[in-house]
Amino acid sequence: MRNLPQAILQIAVGTGLVLAILWTWFHPGRFSNIQLLGGILFVELLFVFVWHYERYFFAVVMISFLWAGTMLPLQDGFNIVRWILLGIGAVVGCIIWMKSSFRSFSPFHMIAAFCVLSAAASSVVSAYPGISLAKTGSLFLLFLYGSSGLRLAVHGREERFFQKLLLVLEILVYLSALAYFVFGIRLYGNPNSLGAIMGIGVFPVLLWAFLVGQKTVRVRRGVALLVCVGLLLFSVTRAAMLASAVVGLVLCLSLREYKLLFKTGIGFVCILSLVAILAPSYFEQKTVEFKNDVFYKGHIDQGVLGSRQSPWDRAATEIRDHPFFGSGFGTSPTGEDPGLVLGRFHSTSELSREHGSSYLAISEWVGLLGLLPFIALFVALGVNTWKTCAWMMNSRNARHYSIPLAMVVIAGLVHAGFEDWLFAVGSYLSVYFWCLAFILADLVPQRTAVHSVAAAQAVPTWPYPLQAAASKR
């Protein structure tokens, strides 16, 4: 582990092993307890993950949060484990980062810190201040991890990091396809979760990888991309479809790939025309179903946004009732008794409700005064994505690691306008989004990284523009 005293860890591990051997010798009957054995195994694995912090910890954190949000066995256990891992990752990462020679913080990290302070201030006026402070603490741990420990996993290891990220996303696509199309298992629960994962977490990265891939991997990634699109359409989630369409449009326009847009549109029209000619009744049936399920969501009489009208109206009412300091970060009381919610590790319906938009949710939670740091955070995200898109437009080159990160940020900001996950730290999508957003803050290319189209086309490998951008920082 970089810059961490190895002797201290060796002494700690050795002492732990000796104590474990002595405890086993004097309490042999305790090892028939499955929970105890599981806890010991978790502690042992935790030592391994901390020892190889830069290599494994980001993957472990993401897997724990994703597992907690699926229908897989041990889901309840991962509801607890994810917070332990995030807390250890934030603390250990901060210690290592502060001891490193390349430690630095940008205005983006300072803005994130003010957002945490704003959330903490809103907790004071919450109807459930303890719960609100706990949720603020989870936001603090996520932002602390993104500002320190996460950067250790990427700094100097960019190529390896993105190769592993691509491989994991490809595997995730195929496993999801098997679960939904072959075994009929709703792996992520409701269809909105499936659409969000594919539209925000997977599609932007795979689309970028397909565009920059060499012939040997381009076909493989193209197949994974098609499967991802199939899962996205299967979810019938309009917010995720809109986010993916915006990403595809922005990416193609930034690269000036007008022919690709034209060919995609023509191909889509030809497929629809072919289906309409060969199976007119089937085409008509699916058209009606798609119109009802995607555009109206069963609320034809209320218009396209009829399903969002009710939560939007209620959120607007709450904002008018608590305009300055909000209802408390992470809490939107519904008037029901939350019971012993403090003993749980996830949100309940008594303390939160659907807002229909992450932006309305954060406005209700922190109020108009507390909203200022979050507005600054959105502006910083917009600036980072704009710089990346401007670099693409000037260079006509997609071979930069900041590009998939910027596309994920764009997809997430569009999708967050219709769902509540952006600041719900317990959501795997929220953790994934903010982790990539913090990485983007370090990898934003400079305007002078590549000056001409000819220079961009002469770049033989991916790391060149990344190194050029890093040298300007």
pLDDT at residue 308, as a whole number: 63
Nearest CA to 82 out of 68, 101, 100, 95 is that of 68
pLDDT at residue 174, as a whole number: 95
- 336 alpha-carbon distance from chain centroid: 31
pLDDT at residue 103, as a whole number: 74
Handedness of CA 41, 44, 50, 51 (dihedral sign): negative
**Whole-angstrom distance, CA of residue 66 vs CA of residue 80:** 13
Using DSSP's 3-state secondary structure scheme, residue 421 falls into coil
- Is 1:54 a contact under the CB 8 Å cutoff? yes
- Count CB neighbours of 456 within 10 A: 21
- Is 399:255 a contact under the CB 8 Å cutoff? no
**Whole-angstrom distance, CA of residue 117 vs CA of residue 110:** 11
Is residue 219 classed exposed, middle or buried when 0-12, 13-18 and 19+ CB atoms within 10 A define those classes?
exposed
Q: Which two tokens stand for residue 53?
A: 């912090």
Nearest CA to 410 out of 446, 376, 439, 383 is that of 383
Give alpha helix (H) positions in 52-148. 53-68, 75-99, 107-123, 129-147
Helix (H) or strand (E) holding 249: helix 238-254
CA distances from residue 193 to 332, 364, 472 in whole angstroms, order as listed? 21, 23, 39
- Is 405:472 a contact under the CB 8 Å cutoff? no
Full pLDDT tens readout for the chain, 473 residues: 444 444 555 566 566 656 666 666 566 655 555 566 666 666 777 787 888 888 889 999 999 999 988 888 888 888 888 999 999 999 988 888 888 777 788 899 999 999 999 999 988 888 788 888 989 999 999 999 999 989 988 988 889 999 999 999 999 999 999 999 888 888 898 888 999 999 999 999 999 998 887 777 888 898 999 999 889 888 888 889 899 999 999 998 888 887 777 777 787 778 767 767 877 776 676 666 666 665 555 555 655 555 666 666 776 777 777 777 788 888 776 555 455 444 455 555 556 667 778 898 898 888 888 899 999 999 999 999 999 999 998 888 888 999 999 999 999 999 998 888 999 888 899 999 999 999 999 999 876 444 333 333 333 334 334 443 333 33
pLDDT at residue 238, as a whole number: 83
pLDDT at residue 110, as a whole number: 94
**Whole-angstrom distance, CA of residue 225 vs CA of residue 417:** 25
Angle between helices 203-212 and 215-235 (to 10 degrees): 160
pLDDT at residue 353, as a whole number: 64
pLDDT at residue 304, as a whole number: 56
pLDDT at residue 319, as a whole number: 77
Spans of all domains in the chain: 107-472
**Whole-angstrom distance, CA of residue 244 vs CA of residue 403:** 15
**Whole-angstrom distance, CA of residue 410 vs CA of residue 414:** 6
**Whole-angstrom distance, CA of residue 227 vs CA of residue 155:** 32
Is residue 362 classed exposed, middle or buried when 0-12, 13-18 and 19+ CB atoms within 10 A define those classes?
buried
- Is 57:49 a contact under the CB 8 Å cutoff? yes
Nearest CA to 140 out of 175, 107, 114, 176 is that of 114
**Whole-angstrom distance, CA of residue 179 vs CA of residue 224:** 15
pLDDT at residue 433, as a whole number: 96
